Structure formats: structure tokens, C-alpha cells
Amino acid sequence: MVTDARNRPLRDLRISLTDRCNMRCRYCMPREHFDEHKFLAKKEILSYEELALIVESLVPLGLTKVRLTGGEPLLRRDVCSFIKMLPKELDIAMTTNGILLEKFAQELADSGLNRVTVSLDALDTETFQAMGDTNETPETVLRGIEAARMAGLTVKVNTVIRAGYNEHSVEKVAERFVGTDVIVRYIEFMDVGETNSWNNEDVITGEMMRKMLENLEPVAANHRGEVANRYVRGSQEFGFIESVSKPFCGDCNRARISADGSMYTCLFASKGNDLKSLLRMGANREQIADAVRSIWSKRDDAYSQNRGENVKPKVEMSFIGG
């Protein structure tokens, strides 16, 4: 096992399969900044074989979970073939906007995916399209969620709440999934990247959201490093990801690999560590593990605990996944 400078282990690897997305969510990939953006060329993106080699190299270091992200991971061709390449002992999850989920849900489950987290910021079309800057509708995402459930995948829904946009979604999304096994997680609007016009006044805190829901009972975390504060109301479970009001840096055990092969040790990092060059020089598992061990052992990130101090330009969330 490897630990960082704050004694945090490396357990969770987020892999960005692509920097492209079929939505333009205001808090992640605002159109005015990304419609003219130059996305990565195919040769710049790590192959599935290269990504699988990284994952295999990290298992001896203590890795237990892999989450596939983007951009939108289902935009990358043959993603199910990559899932089949991953070590079977790992917990394999995906975060998606759900637009293509109905089409791929059964194949994802058959390939070995365990869990899927689906972004759903509103149930009414007007708010959904405003938040996502899209012509898609929430019905498409809801069909994807149902297809994932029918395929046997564990499903969570992520709802980002931003003041002045979708406060009403707190109760509406909760109501929509009453009587199902879908876990709803609410996320505070975060200052990820440099383009989402974040302002602290736009943050609806987890505590404020809980007051909107009422009658919630707290429950213990499933494991150390779990980012969501868990609550139940009857048989329904909720999670609150409170990076702004209740930072969880102290237990953060996540590393991120961008589509072009850089390793980031924090969602709010300003730069990554190049693994692609090492891979393309023919490095083996031991050499990759040694490189990651060296990077992780020096890690001292605690951005959310120290928000506002020594601020540097941050990498965009769409580049390294949430």
C-alpha cells in the first residue's frame, strides 16, 4: 500500500476516457468557452491497453475501485471492451450524463460494470435544458436510469444544486425516486476549473438542502474516504457532497488520469504528472507503479480545506472527470 504526505491511501482511480461531451453544463463545460475549444486528437489519447496497464500497475499499491468518466465516457467507441480488460477484483463504476445510457446499459452490465452514477439536475425540461445548455430532455436520462436498473446495475443520481437555477430540484428529484433503489446525491456547486463562473453566493449548502427535505436521519459512512454524507428518510437513501461547506480532503483517496495520460492528485489541481511518456517508452507494470508511488507519496493536496489560499489556475473538470 502507498500513502501520501497526509497518510491517505490510494484506493480510487478516476479515468477520463475522453475530453468530449454531448452536453454543455454550465457548471462544467460552458458553451462560450468550449464550442471553439480544441479537443484532444486521437493520437493524444491513451489507448485502452495503456489505460489497462496503469490500472493493473496500481492494484499492488492498494487500488480497489475504478470509475470511468469524461467528458462523457459513452462517447468513446468500444468502452465495453475496455471494461472487460480491467481486473475482475476491482469495483468498476461509471459517471455519465445518461443521454446514451439506455442504448448501452445492458452491454455495460454484461461487460463487468458494477455501478453507474447519472447526472440529473432537474426533472422539468426548462431547467434541465438551461442547466445542461442542451436540447435533450430529462425523459431521455430517466429511460437510461431505468434501463440501467433493469440490467442489474447499482444506480446513483447526482444532482448539482445552484442558487437561482434549480433549488426546486432538491425535493422534486427526491420524490421521483421514492420507492426505488436509486440513491440520490446532492452536490454543492463547486469552484472546479476556471470557466464555470463560480461564486460562493451561488452555493446552496448541504445543510440548506437537508432543511428542504426534512425528516432525514444520518447514517454511518460505508467506508473511509466516502465523499457523500449519508442520510435516510424511510427506505430512501440520500447523499450530500459538501466540498465547499464541509471539505473532505482529510480522507480523500482519489487519483485521476486525464484522457491524455496525466495523473492528477486533486480535482482542483493546476497541473498533472505525465504518465503517457513513460507508457510510450515501453514502461512495465513495476516502473509505472514506481512512478505513481513517487507521485502519490509527495501528495499534500487539501484545496477545499484551504479554499482561497495560494490560488492557481485549476484544470477543468471536463478534462479529468468529477
What domains are defined for the chain?
12-320 (3.20.20.70)
Q: Beta strands 91-96 and 65-69: pairing type? A: parallel
Residue found under cell 471553439: 36
Whether omega before 234 lies within 30 degrees of 0, making that bond cis, reads: no
Residue-level length of the chain:
322
Mean pLDDT for each 10-residue chunk of the chain (322 residues)? 96 97 91 85 97 98 97 97 97 98 98 98 98 97 98 98 97 97 97 88 96 95 89 97 94 96 94 96 98 97 81 84 79
pTM over cut 0.85: yes
- The helix (run of H) or strand (run of E) holding residue 256 is strand 254-257
Q: Give Cα 73 distance to the centre of its chain.
A: 11
Q: What is the pLDDT of residue 267?
A: 92
Q: What is the pLDDT of residue 310?
A: 66
